[in-house]
Every structure is written in structure tokens, then in C-alpha cells.
Amino acid sequence: MEKFNTSNIKETLEQSEPSKVLPSGEDLGGAFLLHLADTTLILSQRNSEWCGHGPILEQDIALTNISLDLLGQSRNFYQYAATLINSSTNQAGAQVTEDSLAYLRKEREFKNLLLAEQPNGDWGQTILRQYFFSQYQYLLFEKLQNSSDEQVAAITAKALKEIKYHLRWSSEWVIRLGDGTAESHQRMLHAVDELWRYTGEMFLPADYEKVTGIDFSFLKDAWMKNVKAIFEEATLAIPENVFMQTGGKTGIHTEHMGYLLAELQYVQRAYPNSEW
């Protein structure tokens, strides 16, 4: 049983200043939900850039399906976060919604993994980014589905069924490309070189993750074991002595994030409160 629960969230949210509409670093539980929501939203946005550009139609559809699943998961987390934030601030008329959390926060307020915001690169790089994340998400959500917070347990249990498809699809592609032609192998080596430095962050808990009771060193070992097995099949080597980039979980992003948000948030920024 994970220690993460609503009472943690409420307690920390209630301590925040009533004028705060959006949670800040002190709102530990709410911040954890936003971290989960932000990572799935940003990765969904990145993957969706492939829509209409996939190497073949079926794989274009596969990646956009994964995008849609991730977007659905992020909506569930944002909706839940919004409920908790609204119930803890006694402000009339300043209610946050899933939309305001996604469209009206600034770069420094986003807590997504750096891995999620990295550019698509080629197909191999997109596949590897998805594989690294799905492998991590699978292990993390397996823990969270037993959370004492019923809503977190329900969202993650539901999502796990979808993640299994993502993990299997991306694992197969890593093997297919790594152990494929000389060209595809070369491209996967490049992808590993580009992305490995963003994998360490997943296992370094931010303050809001430390209160969840999740054992991140267990997650790291399990992740590494699975990645090693897939890399072996794919004839790829695990890089050693790579400096790991961090900061995404606390709002310090890579230079790509601003451009991504500019595109994601453009309509709401240019035409505030416009509706579809």
C-alpha cells in the first residue's frame, strides 16, 4: 500500500495562501498530480506532431492512438487536481479547471519529465523516447494502482491496461530498429546518445514525490533490468558514465519547452476564453 493519499494533498493545499489559484511547490500532493498530468500531456503533444507524418499509415495511427491515451490520462489527473485545488481554496469565481491548468500555466509551473519535451527527431528517437517512458510509467503505475487514494488508484489501474499496449509496441520497435539494418542501427545509437541523459531524472524523486512512499530505487532497478533485456535483443549497449540532466520535475526545462508551449497554448493566449 502506497502512502500517497488525499489527506496528504488536502493538508498541504489548505496551508497555502488563499490567494493562490495554482499550486506552488509547497502543495506536495497536488504537485505530484500535476507532475503526472504534465508529463502525459507534453508527451502526448510531442507524439501528436507525427499525425499525418508517420512512416506508414498503420504506424501513424498507432502513435496517434498512444497520444490519445496519454491525453486521456492527463485529463483525468488534471480534473482530479482541479477538484482538490478548488476545494481547498475558498475563492469564488477563481476556479481552476483542467483547461486552465493545461493552457494557462507558464513554463516554470510545468513539472513534466525533461524526457517528454525532447524533440521528436527521427522515428527511432520518437520510438526510444516512448519506450523509456512507457517502461517507467508501467512500473510506476503498477505501484500507484494500489494507492490508498481511490481516485489515483482508479486512474492508474485504468491507464495500465493502455500502457501495456504502448510498452509492447515500443519495445518491439526498439528491437526491430536496433537489430535491423545498418542504417536503422546507426539511428538507434544516435537516439540512445540523445536521450539517455534524460532518463536519470525519472528516479530522482522531487520533494512532492518523497511524500508518496514510492520506492524510486526499486523502480530504477526494475527499469534498468527491463531496458537491459530489450537493449540486448536490439544489439544496443547501455551507455555508461553519462551526466544526467534534471530539473523538469521542479519547472526547470530544456530550451525546447517554451516552443512546445507556444504552440500548445497559442489559441488560449491569443484569444483568451475562446471556446471551440
Partner 1 sequence: MQEFGSPYNDRDPENIGSSKVPPSEGFREAAIWQILETVCDPEVPVLSILDLGIVRNVRCSPYPHLGDGGENLEEVEIIITPTYTGCPAMDMISINIKLALAEHGYKNVKVTSMLSPAWTTDWMTEAGKEKLKAYGIAPPNVRQQVCNNDLFAPNEAVQCPRCNSYHTNRISEFGSTACKSLYQCDDCKEPFDYFK
Q: By the criterion CB under 8 A, which residues form the site for partner 1? A: 58-59, 61-62, 65-66, 68-73, 75-76, 150-151, 153-155, 157-159, 161-162, 164-165, 168-169, 171-172, 175, 233
Q: Which is nearer to partner 1, 214 or 234 (CB)?
A: 234
131 or 198: CB nearest partner 1: 131
- Nearer to partner 1 by Cβ, of 59 and 245: the residue is 59
Q: How far is the CB of 13 from partner 1 (least distance, A)?
A: 22
Contacts with 46 (C-beta within 8 Å, 6 or more apart), sequence order: 116, 117, 118, 119, 120, 126, 129, 260
Residues 6+ apart with CB under 8 A from 14: 88
Which residue shows C-alpha cell 485529463?
75
Q: How far is the CB of 274 from partner 1 (least distance, A)?
A: 18
Query: Measured from the CB atom, is 110 or 141 closer to partner 1?
Result: 141
Q: Compute the least distance from the CB of residue 247 to partner 1, in Å.
A: 28
Cβ 100 to partner 1 shortest distance, Å: 18
* Smaller CB separation from partner 1, 78 or 198: 78
Q: Which residues contact 87 (CB under 8 A, 6 or more apart)?
A: 10
Residue with cell 491569443: 270
Query: Which H or E element spans position 84?
Result: helix 57-88
Q: Which is nearer to partner 1, 69 or 117 (CB)?
A: 69
Backbone angles phi, psi at 185, to 5 degrees: -60, -45
Is 120 in a helix, a strand, or coil? coil
* CB crowding 128-141: b at 16 or more within 10 Å, else e: bbbbbbbbbbbbbb
Min separation Cβ 68 and partner 1, Å? 4
Q: What is the DSSP letter of 204?
A: S
CB of 194 to partner 1, least distance (A): 24
